[in-house]
Amino acid sequence: MGRKEVNRLGFFGATSYIVGSVIGSGIFVSPKGVLVHARSVGLSLIVWVGAAILASLTAINYIELGTSIPESGAEFAYVTFVGWDPIAFSFLWLSTLVQSSSSAATLALTFGEYIMVAIDPLVCTSDVNHRFAVLLLAYGLLLFTALMNMFSLSKIAARIQMASMVAKIAALIIIIVIGLYCMIFKGDTQHFSKDYAFEGSNWSPAQIVLALYQGNWAYAGYTILNYGMEDVQIKNFKRTVPLAVVSGLLITAAVYVLTNVAYFSVLTPQQILNSTAVATTFSQETVGSFSYVMPALIAVLMIGSSNAEIFAWSRYIQAGARRGMMPTMFALIHPDNDSPRVAVLFHVLLSMAFCLIGNVYELVNYVTVIALLTTMFSVGALSYIKWKKMPVSVNAVKFSIFWPILNFVVNIALLVIPIVVEPVKSAIGFGLFILGIGSGLLSTCPAKKENTIADETQRPFNIRLSTDFLDGR
């Protein structure tokens, strides 16, 4: 097997990355966030289905983008492809310095918290020692997954990702089976009755959209293949990407809806609202003293999510370096397995720094507007490519222009609600984005062309990109 084949992902590997990236802390936390705004069992379940539909809408456009421009870097790659370099510059630095690092830190700290909840009956630590232990566990997770991503994807990281996917599905199946058992054999269906299911529903459009936003957060990660598109198996490229995305979303949507049905079969809406970790509360109500196993199991499952995070964002950094918008050293790859080790290390060190802040959830809220704008400009780039009939890969899976336009309109709606409800946070997000564009204009303005080290680093990549994917190889 040649060196280039070692680091390719096939259908099952790609699907496992999608499912492993999406099914993380969201399904164990978001049910409460959805219920806070929906206020009823019935409307909450409708929101979860709606969130799956919205995710599918974006996925359609990202399938076309990923197969048309099979380059690692996702949104950054698509925006630079159409020449919107200042916007790409803003995406790159804000995503790298804030969004990705705070997200990875949140995941790592959640891992540490679940581990400590599991072993708390044994160690009984003080609050200070508890926080310190959580930090050390978070660092351990980040370093472990960094080492996995520094070696061959197919030999190490992808196999662990597949195992993590199976473990995640198994854990959720346990919850689903317990819920169905309670419904079928114990008759716990009162929360789904006609009189109770929609009792107290909040039909305010603003609250429904905010509930959908909570659901969308749980589905985040289904575009992971777009961040490492060059690692997707080349031989079946046109077949692998769409099938992996569709399969990953179908599996995730089915598991999410059934898991929420299981939650509501055992827990009342008020119990969910009072819970800090719904899965733990669920296990306490159903398996008693054995419930401490659940947070430990969930913590183990976080390994897959952390692995997927590092995989995606290290490729994002690598793509930026190839374009000369980040230090050239981040574009370097290991000669034996094509792993961008410098980019992986940079991302992990930033994430470890954000772990010191402690409460990084507030930082994630600030970049909500940035994330939505990123998607908007990506589908805008797709519309521009279609309008200008720009040459793309012959392996591109193409859809109607209706889909990117619809996606653009939906994202505008999702942007308006945070502005109305939380104007300060939205203003900060917009401010950071505009500042990034301004910096991008200054750094990418036309200047005397010189032969730089960055040019030498990017030349082999650009030659391969133009000759390989445009010719369909």
- First-to-last alpha carbon distance for the chain, in angstroms, is 18
Q: Other CB atoms closer than 10 Å to residue 101's CB: what's the count?
A: 26
In this structure, the dihedral spanned by the alpha carbons of residues 460, 466, 472 and 473, taken in order and rounded to 10 degrees, is: -10
What is the torsional sign of CA 56, 58, 60, 62? negative
Q: How far apart are CA 416 and CA 410, in angstroms?
A: 10
Residues 6+ apart with CB under 8 A from 359: none
| pTM, full prediction | 0.76
Residues 6+ apart with CB under 8 A from 285: 266, 267, 271
Q: How far apart are CA 259 and CA 268, in angstroms?
A: 14
The whole-number mean pLDDT for each consecutive block of 10 residues of the chain, a chain of 473 residues, reads 54 78 75 87 93 89 88 82 84 77 83 78 73 90 88 66 72 87 85 84 84 82 75 64 86 91 91 79 80 75 81 80 80 79 90 77 58 86 91 86 91 79 69 67 51 41 36 38
Tokens representing residue 111 in the block: 């891992």
Spatial CA neighbour of 228 closest among 368, 77, 86: 77
Q: Which pLDDT does position 138 carry in this prediction?
A: 92
**In the CATH scheme, what architecture does the domain 3-468 have?**
Up-down Bundle (1.20)
Q: Which pLDDT does position 348 carry in this prediction?
A: 93
Residue 9, beta-bridge partner list: 232
What distances in angstroms separate CA 386 from CA 87, 399, 471, one per listed residue? Answer: 19, 10, 19
Q: Which pLDDT does position 280 carry in this prediction?
A: 77
Domain ranges of the chain: 3-468
* Amino acid letter, residue 25: S
Contact between 337 and 6 under an 8 Å Cβ cutoff? The reply is: yes
Q: How far apart are CA 446 and CA 449, in angstroms?
A: 8
Give CA angle at 223 (221, 227), nearest 5°. Answer: 105
**Phi, psi at 232, each rounded to 5°:** -80, 140
Q: How far apart are CA 111 and CA 101, in angstroms?
A: 15
Q: Which pLDDT does position 468 carry in this prediction?
A: 38
Q: Which pLDDT does position 143 carry in this prediction?
A: 93
Spatial CA neighbour of 418 closest among 471, 473, 370: 370
Q: Which pLDDT does position 154 carry in this prediction?
A: 57
Q: Which pLDDT does position 459 carry in this prediction?
A: 42
Q: Other CB atoms closer than 10 Å to residue 93's CB: what's the count?
A: 19
